[in-house]
Amino acid sequence: MNIPKELKYTEEHEWIRIDGNTATIGITDFAQGELGDIVYIDIDSIGNELDGNEIFGTVEAVKTVSDLFMPIKGKVLEINSDIESTPEIVNEDPYGRGWIIKIEIPEDQDISNLLSDEEYRNMIDN
């Protein structure tokens, strides 16, 4: 299973890549595997400022629908337009072309609740 070292993770199976005051968010390889074939992703939070653990959208797979949670506080700036027409790229490339949203984060954002790659691997292995 692919768990890139340079990313941070949540217990809800989102990943986050922080670059200055912006961050890119998606779901992990483990999450997409558990969901199965993704057929639709609904994000209705563009422009909204959300707190950590708030729902920013949903992902619909053939067998289930799952909420997407904000890893940290931020304002939703952008939605990956590619996932609207080809949501299956989240299955194919969850850490690359299958990213879901980009957010703007406050300077004083606390990220201590995020998991390292090792902590995330330990969580899913148990």
* Residue of 68, 70, 57, 66 whose CA lies nearest to 103: 70
Tell me the per-residue pLDDT of 54-104, one tens digit each, with 9 for 90 and over: 999 999 999 899 999 999 999 999 999 999 999 999 999 999 999 999 999
Using alpha carbons, list the distances in angstroms from residue 66 to 19, 103, 106, 107: 27, 20, 27, 30
Report whether 17 contacts 24 (CB < 8 A): yes
pLDDT at 21 over 90: yes
pLDDT score of 110: 85
Give the angle subtended at the CA of 47 by the CAs of 44 and 49, to the nearest 5°: 100
Average pLDDT for residues 101-108, to the nearest whole number?
93
pLDDT score of 126: 81
Report whether 74 contacts 104 (CB < 8 A): yes
Percent of all residues in the chain with a pLDDT value above 70, rounded to a whole number: 100
Average pLDDT for residues 30-51, to the nearest whole number?
95
In words, the CATH class of domain 8-109 is: mainly beta
Burial of 90 (0-12, 13-18, 19+ CB in 10 A): buried
pLDDT score of 108: 82
Name the amino acid, one letter, at 45: S
